[in-house]
Amino acid sequence: DAGVIQSPRHEVTEMGQEVTLRCKPISGHDYLFWYRQTMMRGLELLIYFNNNVPIDDSGMPEDRFSAKMPNASFSTLKIQPSEPRDSAVYFCASSNTANYGYTFGSGTRLTVV
């Protein structure tokens, strides 16, 4: 089991550019979560999916953020346009209803300059 795979590991982009973060959950997991981690706010849940359907996106900070899960093995988080305050580590995690407790990916460190 390769675990939850996120790409890229690091992303540096200029303000105003579009950024796409990618996540491949563990096979068989039916929940997928996107979190953002910053020193100021800690871990914030942005959005989560169940069986590829978005369940709660109340944590998405603004319309510049969007997330999709076109199939059970892939999800994206897009920021358009990006701003310096979006700089953070973005984590994807997956789980299933039979076994509470998430498995996290290694994260994407985003720097917007």
Partner 1 sequence: AQSVTQLDSQVPVFEEAPVELRCNYSSSVSVYLFWYVQYPNQGLQLLLKYLSGSTLVKSINGFEAEFNKSQTSFHLRKPSVHISDTAEYFCAVSGGSNYKLTFGKGTLLTVNP
- DSSP letter string over 40-107? TTEEEEEEEEETTEEEE-TT--STTEEEEEEETTEEEEEESS--GGG-EEEEEEEEETTEEEEEE---
> Given the complex with partner 1, which of 7 and 81 has the nearer CB atom?
7
Part in contact with partner 1 (CB under 8 A); list of ranges 16-24, 63-71, 72-80, 102-110: 102-110
Amino acid at position 75, single letter:
S
CB of 8 to partner 1, least distance (A): 14
4 binds partner 1 (CB under 8 A): yes
Q: Which of residues 22-81 bind partner 1 (CB under 8 A)?
A: 31, 33, 42-43, 45, 48, 50, 56
